[in-house]
Amino acid sequence: MATSPPRLLASPEERLPAEEPTSAGEMALSLGGAR
């Protein structure tokens, strides 16, 4: 459980599974563009 908190704090790309690498990339771009 000690690894749960650090993972949540990690970037959105790390939080998302490696199964959806495109989603993480799109999300990161979206967040960066929106901001």
- Per-residue pLDDT tens digits for 9-35: 556 655 555 555 566 677 676 666 554
User: If we measure between CA atoms, which residue out of 23, 26, 28, 22 comes closest to residue 10?
Assistant: 28
Cα–Cα distance for residue pair 6/23, rounded to 1 Å: 21
pLDDT of the residue at 2: 52
Tell me the pTM.
0.25
Label residue 1 by pLDDT band (50, 70, 90). Answer: very low
Cβ neighbourhood burial of 9 (10 Å; 0-12, 13-18, 19+):
exposed
